[in-house]
Structure 1
Amino acid sequence: MRKLLVGFGVAGVALLGWTLRVGTVQAAQDPAASPQFYTTRVQPIFKEHCYRCHGGFNHRGGLNLATKAGMMKGGHDGPAVIPGDPTKSLLVRLIRHEGPAKDPMPMPPKLPKISDADIATVTQWVKAGAIMPDDARR
């Protein structure tokens, strides 16, 4: 791989989405690892599908998804998100409908399942560390 990249030069490497670092090649940072990804991509999903029960004044199951503190604290069943590990994150398991059948139940409970694209976005965000602003209510 190193020999192949030498022929590209710095401009070619930049076009491939790679950055050079003192003799090594490193992938560009995952865009999901930024507060802007949460604000522009993840929070709208939560607002559309989750905030009715887990935002504002409603905190069903003790879970508030509208703030970073609420997200990290979780609800009655423990933390909603394990940053960096979507397979252990209760939130991801529930929106995939892979969690316990009854308590907590798959989310959202009465509406159709969240789209696969939205589930992938939330999963990508959790895998990248679940980065979000300190207070993402607005």
Structure 2
Amino acid sequence: MRWALLLAICCLPPADALADEQQPAGPAELFRSRIAPLLQQSCLKCHSGDKPEGGLSLSTRAQLLKGGDSGPAVSATDVAASLLLQAVRWEGPQMPPTGRLPAREIEAIQQWIATGLEWPADLAELKSAPVRKAPEVNAETKQHWSFQPVRRPAVPAAPAWGHNEIDAFIAAGLQNRGLTPNPPADPRHLVRRAAYNITGLPPQPQQVETFAASPTQQNWSALVEQLLHSPHYGEHWARHWLDLVRYAETNSYERDGAKPFVWRYRDYVISAFNSDLPWDRFLTEQLAGDELPDRTPDSLIATGFYRLGRWDDEPADPELAFYDDMDDIITTTGQTMLGLS
């Protein structure tokens, strides 16, 4: 699993990019990234043009405020009373009629109305999105990166400062961009970097002093092994997997009820990292741990993967909620295990 971890580290975006993605979107950005695409994909096919359904056009802010045959579509003073919000919640008219929007999209609409219906001037009039074609398996789609067999590339020429093959690939990338590496870090900085990267915690003072006194390659390897065998290694790196599989200890929705004993799945993931569980076994136990001929209590706990998502304990449409849950599981499995989205 540690080899898979190294690959995951290489694929992670820069920390500042992650931070940017996690910042709350402002009203204008909310409209651009969430509301406009939603209206184009789910609403404007019927609610735009010269003769919109129900007399309601959602192409412009003015038309939205004007409303249709049933009156104004939104209420700035009483968000919950907005006809648009009631319709997408299926509290009366059920819109879009082809299927209820995901809860996160409904929440975005509510936030948009509550923050003043921001509508950037450069998107003054929205057009319906073109009809999407059904996905096809063809020569072009087969070239998707996650469908390609794993190959061992030729190792570039090693730089003078390199210690291993990874350094050779990094050096080649720097050279292609006309860049040069920074000078080697001093021993104390190296220890701190290793500790924070592997365990997420600062190093012990004794670890710093010991390595600083004798910064040999042998002592460096020993330090890294010591950090990898720390229980904090699994605690730190399990968080990345738990984020991917949407781990939460409550169900969300109105009551946000607790998920009893879901912490056992969290501890299973931590233990898997700390015990260096093979990657294929780690995935298999989560998908079918109860069906394995050599199943164990841990492999049964691993199937908690299927109960990590949001769950509505009182859905307005139980059948639709069931298929929403199935779609969530399939999507999560494809994204985390197959490189699909």
TM interval, shorter chain, is 0.5 to 0.7
Question: Where do residues 63-78 of structure 1 align in structure 2 (5 Å cutoff)?
Answer: 63-78=56-71
Letter in 1 for 2:56: L
Aligned to 2:181: none
Aligned partner of 1:137 in structure 2 is 126
Measured against aligned partners, the alpha-carbon deviations of 1:33-59 in whole angstroms (never above 9, x if no partner) come to: x33321221011111110110024451
- Provide the secondary structure at the position in 1 that maps to 2:63: helix
The alpha carbon displacement at 1:84 in A equals 5.2
1:39–1:136 contact (8 Å) kept in structure 2: no
Q: Which runs of 4+ in 1 moved over 3 A?
A: none
Give the match for residue 31 of structure 2.
38
Q: State how many pairs are aligned.
A: 102
* Stretch of structure 1 that moved more, 50-59 or 39-48: 50-59
- Match in the other structure for 2:208: none
Is 1:60 aligned with 2:16? no
Q: Which runs of 5+ in 1 are unaligned?
A: 1-29, 100-104
Match of 1:117 in 2: 104
Greater share of strand:
1
Q: 2:322 is matched with which residue?
A: none
Distance 1:136 1:36 in 2: 16
TM-score (norm: length of structure 2):
0.28
Larger fraction in helix? 2
Indicate the percent of aligned positions where both proteins have the same amino acid.
Answer: 33
1:79 equivalent among 72, 89, 100: 72
The CA RMSD over aligned residues, in Å, is 1.9
* 1:107 matched to 2:95: yes
Gaps of 5+ in 2: 1-23, 128-341
SS at match of 1:87: helix
**1:11-50 counterparts in 2 under 5 A?**
31-32=25-26, 34-50=27-43
